[in-house]
Amino acid sequence: MKPNSTPTPSAQDRAALRNTLLKLTAGQKILCTVVVAVVALIWYDLLNRVLVYGDGMDYAGLGALGAQAVSFLQRYNTFFWWAIIILCTLIIAYFLYGFVQTSRQRVRSKLVSAAALSDLVDQLSEPAREVLRWVWNDHRHPVTVGDLQQTAHELRTNRSGKIALSRQHSATLDG
Query: Which residue type occupies 33?
Result: T
Q: The whole model's pTM is what?
A: 0.77
Which segments of 5-142 are extended strands (E)?
Answer: none
Q: What pLDDT tens digit does each residue of the chain (175 aa) get? A: 444 444 678 889 999 999 999 999 999 999 999 999 999 999 999 999 998 888 877 766 776 777 787 777 778 788 888 999 999 999 999 999 999 999 999 999 999 999 999 999 999 999 999 999 999 988 899 999 999 999 999 999 989 888 888 989 999 998 7
> How many CB atoms are located within 10 Å of the residue 114 CB?
10
pLDDT of residue 57: 76
Per 3-state DSSP, the chain is made up of helix, strand and coil in percentages (nearest 5) of 80, 0, 20
- Say what the pLDDT of residue 128 is: 93
CB 145 within 8 A of CB 112: yes
pLDDT tens for each residue of 36-87: 999 999 999 999 999 888 887 776 677 677 778 777 777 878 888 899 999 9
Extents of the domains making up the chain: 11-174
CA dihedral sign, ordered 93, 99, 105, 107: negative
Q: What SS3 state is found at 106?
A: helix
